[in-house]
Amino acid sequence: MAKQTILVLCTGNSTRSQMAHGYLQHFAGERATVLSAGVETHGLNPKAVQVMAEDGIDISHHTSNHVDDYAQLPINFVITVCDSAAERCPVWIGRTNRTHHNFTDPSKATGTPDEIMAVYRQVRNDIRAFSEGFISERVLSGSLT
């Protein structure tokens, strides 16, 4: 089976897409190349880095990239992780499969610092479950649908 390329797309490529990038790469290992981008770039969110590190995934080296940076690459799967990115997602020419799953934006959480971090952890856990299932169903099984 050929190595797959997965692009995770969000609005700012700072939180949700970065967490998904980390988990998708973790679960896929060498069987996929995972990239993440935004329709804008907002920089890497330190709280996302923190909650991922709590689960043993280091995303501190990730960068916030614009979707145009990957426009010329052959992409097997595009995963949009927020409604805004799904609406603004460019159309890739060729064989690209799109999947959409809207995750809550933890950067909009309010409350005490502990309450805010609890939202980040919940979103992280939701993204972890989605990512593990996606890799199992789409990459490990070889299914492009």
Q: How far is CA 97 from CA 47, 58, 75, 78, 134, in A?
A: 30, 27, 8, 6, 12
Beta-sheet strand order (sheet of 32-38): 32-38, 4-10, 77-80, 97-100
Query: Annotated catalytic, 104?
Result: no
Query: Annotated catalytic, 111?
Result: no
User: Which residue among 89, 116, 117, 118 is the active-site one?
Assistant: 89
Closest among 13, 18, 20 to 100, alpha carbons compared: 20
User: Which residue among 57, 81, 82, 135 is the active-site one?
Assistant: 82
Query: Annotated catalytic, 64?
Result: no
Cα angle vertex 130, ends 78, 59, to 5°?
Answer: 75
Q: Catalytic residue positions?
A: 10, 82, 89
